[in-house]
């Protein structure tokens, strides 16, 4: 598969899209998925992520090979499916993004400010290193059951916090996550909304991120999804790897536990 | 001793309070500041998980407070221009940090409600409002609808709908225009189904 093939597919897709935009938005994305078959443009991002993992970087010029994602230093396969989890070395629960920040600061010598400068792409960007790393790490858990840690007291407290945050209404519109995501069969305009309080809804949502966003041409992470939902709730900017971001992801991961990871997925 | 235990217990819980966690996790962005994370008493009351038991007395108190704060529009003029109201209903912009604060806010009614039956891109978090004007323009209907738009909690405590008037999302004039979009017999909301 090459870039010419991709742009050809994309042209077909745009044609289909404009023809049927208002009648069946989800349908045309399904058609695009069918055209791609098993191919997902995220594959290029996954390759990038793997390369970034093994490339020395930062002031200390070391790679992330000794980074412990929860299964021991350097073990990537299966690690994503067991996140968020408690890490004794920081005495807190971390998601993949908080953990990567820890490894980049501790192993590679980057400052937190450098890691936080631009974790997620803006529209029109070609992707960040963090997005590529997360895509690769998640791909290494594809097909495995979602199994976040819930044995440690702090893991259970993080879930409880996530549930409270899910229902926390604030801002000029009084929105919470629950406003859009505690009922089944609902949608905003034509966009279907998963019921994240149920196993099925949480499993479908959690298992499919990170995802290649067709409309944006980049891979988006679960941390970005949390940040963008907060933006739509009229809240300030949610920081990557923050306590609230980790807690909300823990709430979703535990509700969806047992389902198989399918990420990186393909989304509209 | 019990008091000491209580203090230690509550301070250890403190970091897991939603407000503290959010304050620790968010930063100001453009014109949106962390001030927005603070809850008023209604938001606090309406943040219970659905499974939690409801304090009915408190609910009645908050409902009454919401109702008593709804102003009557100046000149008791409830109905503006339905064509302007249609624009407000379609506009989903406003108050997100990615929005231009110089532009007027939208009501984003279509995100959750069906209105003009020929608009297919409507959400269903709220009930369909197509044909809303068929109920007529009695003062009771006008006051009811005005109140619902101004502060939905006056009738339906902990409704998902924003307080478009009370929270200052829409101006009085915009609300009058939305009212006209709902009530005017010439508004597409009240056209017969295609």
Which range has the worst mean pLDDT, A29-43, B88-102, B127-141? Answer: A29-43
Active site residue A180: no
- In a shared domain, residues A55 and A185: yes
Cβ neighbourhood burial of B173 (10 Å; 0-12, 13-18, 19+): middle
Contact state of B28 with A236 under an 8 Å Cβ cutoff: yes
Domain membership of residue B49 (yes or no) is yes
Q: Domain span at residue A155?
A: 40-71+79-267
User: Does position A195 have pLDDT exceeding 90, yes or no?
Assistant: yes
Number of Cβ within a 10 Å radius of residue A2: 7
Is the confidence at residue B67, as pLDDT, over 90?
yes
- What CATH number corresponds to the domain at position A187? 1.10.760.10
Residue to substitute from B12, B17, B22, interface A, most A β-carbons within 10 A: B22
Q: Is residue A67 located within the same domain as residue A156?
A: yes
Chain A closest CA to B5's CA: distance in Å? 19
Mean per-residue pLDDT for B28-42? 98
A153 touches chain B (CB under 8 A): no
Q: Are residues A262 and A132 in the same domain?
A: yes
A178 lies within 8 A of chain B by CB = yes
Q: How confident is the model at residue A11 (pLDDT cuts 50, 70, 90)?
A: very low
Q: Are residues A156 and A35 in the same domain?
A: no
Tens-place pLDDT, residues A240-265: 999 999 999 999 999 999 999 999 98
Interchain CB contacts (distance < 8 Å): A and B: 133
For residue range A61-80, what is the model confidence (pLDDT) as tens digits? Answer: 999 999 999 999 999 999 99
Which CATH number covers residue B174? 1.10.760.10
Residues 6+ apart with CB under 8 A from B158: B45, B46, B59
Is there a domain that residue B55 lies in?
Answer: yes
* Partner residue opposite A189 with nearest CB, options B19, B26, B121: B121
- Is B10 within the bounds of a domain? no
DSSP assigned state of A242: -
* Domain-embedded: residue B7: no
CB contact under 8 A, B123 and A170: no
Q: How much is the mean pLDDT over chain B?
A: 92
Which residues touch B84 (CB under 8 Å, ≥6 apart)?
B174, B177, B180
Distance CA B85, CA B180 (A): 7
Structural domain contains residue B76: yes
Whether B97 sits inside 8 A of A247 (CB atoms) is no
B17 falls within a domain: no
- In angstroms, the CA A126 to CA A45 distance is 10
Question: Measuring CA to CA, which residue among A123, A118, A138 is closest to residue A218?
Answer: A123
- Which pLDDT belongs to residue A26? 61
Interface of A with B in 186-245 (CB under 8 A): 186-191, 193, 197, 230-232, 234-239, 242-245
Say if the Cβ atoms of A165 and B18 lie within 8 Å: yes
For the residues B71-86, what does the mean pLDDT come to?
95
pLDDT band at B2 (very low <50, low <70, confident <90, very high): very low
Please give the residue that has the higher pLDDT: either B8 or B145.
B145
Residue A267 scores a pLDDT above 90:
no
The yes-or-no verdict on residue B30 having pLDDT over 80 is yes
A223 touches A237 (CB < 8 A): no
Region A90-98 average pLDDT: 98
Q: Which value, in Å, is the radius of gyration of the alpha carbons in chain A?
A: 18
Each residue's pLDDT tens digit, A117-171? 999 999 889 999 999 999 999 999 999 999 999 999 999 999 999 999 999 999 9
Euclidean distance between CA atoms A138 and A159, whole angstroms: 21
Q: Which domain holds residue B62?
A: 22-190
Residue B11 lies in a domain: no
From B18, B47, B95, residue closest to A172, measured CB to CB:
B95
Selected residue of A92, A123, A172, A251 to mutate for chain B interface (largest B Cβ count, 10 A) = A172
The reply to whether residue B36 touches residue A172, judged by beta carbons under 8 angstroms, is: yes
Cα(A39)–Cα(A107) distance, integer angstroms: 34
Burial of B164 (0-12, 13-18, 19+ CB in 10 A): buried
Average pLDDT over residues B107-125: 97
Question: How confident is the model over A206-242, as pLDDT tens digits?
Answer: 999 999 998 888 999 999 999 999 999 999 999 999 9
Chain B contact for A118, CB < 8 A?
A: no
């Amino acid at each position: 598969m090459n870039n010419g093939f991709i742009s050809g597919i994309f042209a077909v897709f745009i044609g289909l899209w404009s023809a049927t935009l208002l009648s069946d938005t989800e349908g045309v994305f399904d058609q695009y998925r069918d055209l791609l078959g098993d191919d997902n443009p995220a594959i290029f991002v996954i390759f990038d992520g793997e390369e970034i993992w093994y490339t020395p970087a930062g002031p200390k010029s070391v790679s992330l090979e000794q980074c412990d994602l929860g299964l021991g230093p350097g073990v990537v396969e299966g690690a994503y499916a067991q996140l968020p989890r408690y890490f004794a070395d920081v005495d807190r629960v971390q998601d993949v993004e908080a953990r990567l920040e820890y490894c980049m600061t501790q192993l590679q010598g980057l400052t937190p400010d450098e890691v936080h400068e631009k974790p997620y792409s803006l529209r029109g960007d070609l992707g960040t290193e963090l997005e590529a790393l997360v895509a690769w790490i998640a791909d290494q858990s594809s097909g495995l059951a979602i199994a976040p840690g819930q044995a440690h007291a702090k893991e259970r407290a993080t879930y409880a916090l996530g549930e409270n945050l899910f229902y926390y209404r604030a801002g000029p519109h009084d929105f919470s996550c629950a406003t859009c995501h505690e009922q089944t069969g609902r949608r905003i305009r034509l966009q279907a909304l998963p019921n994240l309080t149920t196993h099925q809804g949480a499993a479908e949502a959690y298992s499919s991120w990170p995802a290649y966003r067709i409309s944006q041409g980049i891979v988006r992470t679960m941390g970005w999804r949390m940040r963008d939902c907060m933006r739509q709730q009229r809240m300030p900017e949610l920081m990557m790897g923050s306590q609230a971001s980790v807690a909300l992801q823990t709430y979703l991961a535990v509700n969806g536990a047992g389902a198989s990871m399918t990420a990186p997925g393909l989304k509209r | 001793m019990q008091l000491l235990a209580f203090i230690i217990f509550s301070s250890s819980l403190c970091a897991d309070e939603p407000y503290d966690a959010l304050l620790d996790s968010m930063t100001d962005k453009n014109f949106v500041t962390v001030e927005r994370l603070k809850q008023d008493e209604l938001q606090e009351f309406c943040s219970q998980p659905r499974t939690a038991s409801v304090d009915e007395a408190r609910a009645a108190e908050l409902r009454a407070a919401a109702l008593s704060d709804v102003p009557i529009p100046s000149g008791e003029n409830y109905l503006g221009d339905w064509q302007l109201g249609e624009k407000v209903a379609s506009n989903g912009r406003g108050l997100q940090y990615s929005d231009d604060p110089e532009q007027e806010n939208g009501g984003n009614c279509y995100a959750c409600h069906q209105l003009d039956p020929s608009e297919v891109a409507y959400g269903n978090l709220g009930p369909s409002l197509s044909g809303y004007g068929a109920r007529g323009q009695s003062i009771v209907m006008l006051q009811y609808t005005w109140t619902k738009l101004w502060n939905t909690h006056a009738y339906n405590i902990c409704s998902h709908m924003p307080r478009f008037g009370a929270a200052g999302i829409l101006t009085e004039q915009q609300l009058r225009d939305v009212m006209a979009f709902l009530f005017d017999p010439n508004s597409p909301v009240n056209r017969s189904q295609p």
